[in-house]
Structure 1
Amino acid sequence: MKKLLYLTLLFVVTLASAQDKDKKEEPKPQIVEAACGQCQFGMEGHGCELAVRVDGKSYFVDGSSIDSHGDAHANDGFCTTIRKAEIVGKIVDNRFKVTSFKLLPKK
């Protein structure tokens, strides 16, 4: 009886542990600098493209475009100024894959 109880308990603990590993940690929102990678961050590219600076390193963005947030060449556009944005995503192959991109108001 004790062996059966022990095996049942071991099975339950193993099952619970396996379920924890299956849970993927969701990326958390972070505030970053956002701008044109070439015009403001000095990145090499082929035209104006949205980029973010995360922990001091710049990455081109996949999942949002430079023109999705207004005229990039306006006075407050990404080619003329660096803005703050709240983003969610992760770095994959040296690019930032966003699942959420929210441009924050200028202060």
Structure 2
Amino acid sequence: MKKVAIILIVLLSLACNKKAETKIVELSCGQCQFGLTTQDGCDLAVRIDDKAYFVDGANIDDFGDAHDLETGFCEVIRKAEVEGELIENRFKVSSVNLLD
């Protein structure tokens, strides 16, 4: 019985430790590039499977000037490898690696 209880505890703890997924996404300004209107100003967003979500855990200016004509998120859509998860219609990011 003791072994069964230990196995159940281990399985339960593994099930509760939901890992963030790594995905290749489009990353840009939610308002300027993805047409999101639920927030004012310029905010970082990801587009996954043709649906855009605002990002929590990273700021639009963390990657340089958001209005730079060649690399700024308000001007271009960039590819990125991100780790995170969708929670309550927002993308909670734990890491971002720009691919371009």
Aligned residue pairs, count: 96
Q: What's the % identity of the aligned pairs?
A: 49
Provide runs of 4+ in structure 1 moved above 6 Å.
Answer: none
The TM-score, its normalising length taken from structure 1, stands at: 0.82
1:72 maps to which of 56, 61, 66: 66
* Alignment deviations for residues 66-100 of structure 1 (CA, whole Å, 9 cap, x no partner): 00011111122101110011111111121111111
The TM-score, its normalising length taken from structure 2, stands at: 0.87
Match of 1:7 in 2: none
Amino acid corresponding to residue 22 of structure 2 in structure 1: P
Larger Rg: 1
Identify the range of structure 1 (10-19 vs 56-65) with the bigger mean alpha-carbon deviation. Answer: 10-19
Higher strand share: 2
Report SS of the residue matched to 1:13.
helix
Amino acid corresponding to residue 77 of structure 2 in structure 1: I
CA RMSD of aligned residues (A): 1.2
